[in-house]
């Protein structure tokens, strides 16, 4: 510990390891980088060296961060939440074993067998204690006040909430190798979490510090109100030491309900405004459909969000904000916890405005509400209201395509009271269909006038009568776990008819 940056001081041997005096070992102690192996592995290395064989050391970068193929993956069913949260080692874990006898001699270094003192096992039962131990270390770190300066100071310690401990755990996550769609095992390119390994392999040394070389900002049990103003931080990036800037937001949500697809009760958004004014959303999520194409979206299903900036702009101002999107439980504020780590300095002011969170000024097709998000006009969608939903006319058919977990929209106009219309709809995989009058439907089924949960299959035809005048918006949600394509056909009376095509050229 006292010989940083290397944790061990090795005494140079007085012989060459084989009992022969060594003339090159003149220094009694030498501080060098060092590592340890087990006695059994050491004997194997000795034997291999004696035989003149080559000794190859495998890189932990390539072998120690592979996701175990037997480990369960997400997302959850029904609402597509990201799981797992984090990953801890659980393959071939060795620990003390006992045959429960007080008279058995269990001394020795062998593994397995009837009287083995060492037991090797694999599974989540091995990974869970390692994650639990890491969480206990995080709690001790905060209670003893290490997070303030990197030195123990119990006078500045805090009693962390469960949300804050979880925030530290996902803050420490590092990428893992896993099989891609082609079966190739590689590191994923995602900045955000994945359904293969969540927010990553727990690595507390990437967050906790003991020498003041790393900044940590902690906000615990902060409260934000429904429809209230967003809360922000002003972070000035350092001169650049190769360390990423990372922010994690976690809140303990209210219980869900089996009557709804989405289980998130109160939705908060983590947002970052970069020095160039661009907006980054928590968990770096994206979606695509046949109308709007590939685009970034805010997370609407998880109660943990993270933003990572791999190479912060030296001296750049990064604004971090937490905004309330929608609450089921509106009787009181929602508590949340926030962790920031990296090379940065917090500043008291940065000229923050709520409008900075409404990307592109809502593109002229929506309103930037006080909580810092765009409320789009009925015929537009997307985080910045830039996507024009296609209009359905009486007697027309439109096709759609949307990625898993994403939405696409279209609308039609009822122009005569008492009108009726018929919808013929269907699609591949698992699409869900929602329509609402004069509002945009969502997974909150209370906002929909009609809902049909489907699992592919043949098209369905439904007729609706005696309808009020208004704009009817159809939302199509692609459920787990692949995208959906299909068609929608509208017919009926009292609807907007297709526009008359312009006349052709007059013959000369």
Q: CA-to-CA distance for 335 and 312, rounded, in angstroms? A: 29
Q: Which residue has the tokens 């609706």?
A: 464
Q: Which residues of 230-242 are buried (b: 16+ CB within 10 A; e: fewer)?
A: bbbbbbbbbeeee
Query: Confidence band (pLDDT; 50, 70, 90) for 114?
Result: low
How long a stretch of residues is the chain? 508
pLDDT of residue 27: 47
| Model confidence band, residue 43 (pLDDT cutoffs 50, 70, 90) | confident
CA distance 201 to 463: 52
Among the listed ranges 100-109, 183-192, 270-279, 366-375, which one has the minimum average pLDDT value? 100-109
For 114-118, 150-154, 367-371, 477-481, which range has the lowest pLDDT when averaged over its residues? 114-118
So what's the pLDDT on residue 455? 64
**For the residues 63-76, what does the mean pLDDT come to?**
80
Beta bridge partners of 249: 305, 338
- Per-residue pLDDT at 446: 74
Distances (CA, A) of 351 to 233, 246, 317, 319: 11, 22, 11, 10
Cβ count within 10 A of residue 251: 24
- Greater confidence (157 vs 32) lies with 157
Question: What average pLDDT does this structure show over 267-285?
Answer: 97
Lowest mean pLDDT across 50-64, 356-370, 372-386: 50-64
CA–CA separation, 451 vs 59, rounded Å? 53
Q: Residue 382 burial (CB < 10 Å; 0-12/13-18/19+)?
A: buried
Give 303's DSSP letter. Answer: S
Q: In the prediction, which pLDDT does 37 show?
A: 67
pLDDT digits (tens, 9 = 90+) for 134-180: 999 999 999 999 999 999 999 999 999 999 999 999 999 998 888 77
Cβ pair 480, 466 in contact under 8 A: no
Q: 20-34, 285-299, 368-382, 401-415 — which is least confidently predicted?
A: 20-34
Pairing of the two strands 484-493 and 470-478: unpaired
DSSP letters of 417-436?
TTEEEEEEEEESS-EEEEEE
Mean pLDDT along residues 345-371: 96
**Which residues neighbour 494 within 8 Å (Cβ) at sequence distance 6 or greater?**
414, 415, 416, 417, 418, 419, 420, 421, 467
pTM over 0.85: no
Mean of pLDDT values over 75-85: 87
Q: How many CA atoms lie within 13 A of 407 on its CB side?
A: 23
Mean pLDDT of 71-77: 85
The pLDDT tens digits of the residues spanning 193-249 come to 998 899 999 999 999 998 877 789 999 999 999 999 999 999 999 987 678 999 999
pLDDT digits (tens, 9 = 90+) for 427-483: 998 888 999 999 998 877 777 899 888 767 788 999 999 999 999 999 999 887 789
């Amino acid at each position: 510990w006292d010989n940083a940056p290397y944790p061990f001081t090795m005494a140079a041997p007085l012989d060459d390891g084989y009992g022969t005096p060594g003339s090159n070992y003149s220094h009694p102690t030498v501080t060098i980088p060092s590592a340890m192996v087990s006695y059994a592995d050491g004997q194997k290395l000795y034997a291999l060296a004696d035989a003149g064989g080559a000794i190859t050391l495998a890189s932990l970068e390539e072998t120690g961060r592979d996701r175990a193929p037997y480990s369960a993956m997400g997302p959850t069913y029904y609402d597509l939440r990201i799981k797992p949260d984090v990953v801890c080692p659980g393959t071939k874990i060795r620990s003390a074993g006992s045959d429960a006898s007080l008279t058995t001699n269990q001394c020795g270094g062998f593994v397995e067998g009837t009287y083995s003192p060492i037991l090797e096992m694999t599974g989540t039962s091995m990974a869970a204690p390692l994650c639990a131990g890491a969480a206990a270390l995080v709690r001790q770190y905060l209670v003893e006040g290490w997070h303030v300066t990197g030195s123990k100071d119990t006078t500045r310690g805090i009693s962390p909430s469960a949300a804050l401990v979880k925030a530290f755990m996902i803050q420490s996550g590092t990428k893992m190798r896993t099989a891609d769609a082609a079966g190739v095992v590689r590191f994923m390119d995602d900045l955000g979490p994945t359904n293969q390994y969540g927010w990553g392999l727990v690595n507390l040394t990437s967050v906790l510090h003991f020498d003041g070389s790393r900044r940590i900002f902690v906000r615990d049990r902060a409260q934000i109100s429904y429809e209230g103003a967003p809360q922000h931080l002003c972070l000035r990036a350092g001169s650049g030491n190769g360390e990423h800037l990372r922010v994690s937001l976690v809140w303990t949500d209210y219980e869900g309900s089996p009557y709804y697809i989405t289980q998130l009760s109160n939705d908060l958004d983590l947002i970052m405004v970069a020095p160039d004014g661009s907006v980054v959303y928590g968990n770096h999520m994206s979606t695509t459909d046949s109308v709007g194409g590939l685009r970034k979206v805010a997370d609407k299903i998880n109660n943990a969000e993270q933003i990572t900036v791999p190479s912060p702009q030296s001296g750049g101002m990064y604004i971090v904000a937490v905004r309330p999107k929608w609450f089921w439980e509106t009787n009181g504020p929602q508590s949340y916890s926030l962790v920031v780590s990296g090379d940065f300095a917090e500043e008291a002011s940065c000229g923050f405005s709520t409008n900075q969170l409404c990307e592109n000024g809502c593109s002229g097709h929506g309103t930037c509400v006080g909580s810092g998000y765009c409320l789009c006009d009925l015929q537009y969608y997307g985080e910045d209201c830039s996507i024009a939903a296609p209009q359905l006319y009486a007697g027309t058919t439109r096709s759609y395509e949307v990625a898993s977990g994403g939405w696409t929209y279209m609308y039609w106009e009822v122009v005569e009271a008492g009108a009726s219309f018929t919808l013929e709809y269907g699609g591949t995989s698992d699409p869900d269909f929602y329509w609402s009058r004069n509002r945009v439907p969502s997974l909150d089924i209370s906002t929909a006038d009609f809902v049909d949960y489907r699992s592919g299959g043949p098209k369905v035809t439904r007729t609706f009568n005696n309808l009020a005048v208004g704009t009817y918006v159809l939302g199509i949600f692609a459920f787990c776990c692949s995208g959906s394509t299909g068609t929608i056909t509208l017919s009926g009376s009292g609807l907007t008819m297709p526009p008359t095509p312009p006349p052709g050229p007059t013959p000369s």
